[in-house]
Amino acid sequence: MQADDNQMPAGPVEPVVLAALDEAETLAARGDNSRAMASLERGIRIKPKDPWLWHQLSVLKLRSGQWLDAIAMAGKSNSLAGDNRQLLSGNWMVIAEAREARGELTEAEAARQKAEAYASNRDYTE
């Protein structure tokens, strides 16, 4: 990465990241969550600073009910997302849902508000 790039591109661009996301999506659609996660992890081993891979992994963790992992991985994605509001919003949404599932309603509400705040500054709707 360049020393001064604060601006994240709007979406993933690197071929290997795109391929890993694709593969995971196909596997998840087939109901094979475990291999879908493995293929995202393979992507993360290659590109550990890529926030989309971490985001997608947090989504799969959420789907499989691994709430704490979902929260941690969405947080990790946030820490790598720079100024990408769409991604930040998506991550806070994952955190909100995982918190809610854990019964942490106050934290869930705070996270939801963050998600909405990030989403509203750009016309982004999930």
Residue ranges binding another protein (CB under 8 A)? 1, 3-6, 8, 14-16, 18-20, 35, 37-39, 41-42, 44-46, 48-49, 57, 68-69, 71-73, 75-76, 78-83, 88
- Minimal distance, residue 82 CB to another protein, in Å: 4
Give Cβ neighbours of residue 74 (< 8 Å, ≥ 6 apart).
54, 55, 58, 91, 92, 94, 95, 98
Minimum separation from the CB atom of position 21 to another protein (A): 10
C-alpha 92/C-alpha 97 separation (Å) is: 9
Closest CB 6 distance from another protein, rounded Å: 6
Kindly tell me which of 1 and 29 has the beta carbon lying closer to another protein.
Answer: 1
Nearer Cβ to another protein, position 5 or 126?
5
Listing DSSP states for 73-112 in one string gives HHHHHHHH-TT-HHHHHHHHHHHHHHHHHTT-HHHHHHHH
- CA–CA separation, 106 and 99 (whole Å): 9
Q: Give the up-direction half-sphere exposure of residue 36: CA atoms within 13 A in the CB hemisphere.
A: 21
| Closer CB to another protein, 20 or 28, in the complex | 20
- Least separation in angstroms between residue 126's CB and another protein is 19
In the bound state with another protein, the residue whose beta carbon lies nearer, of 81 and 124, is 81
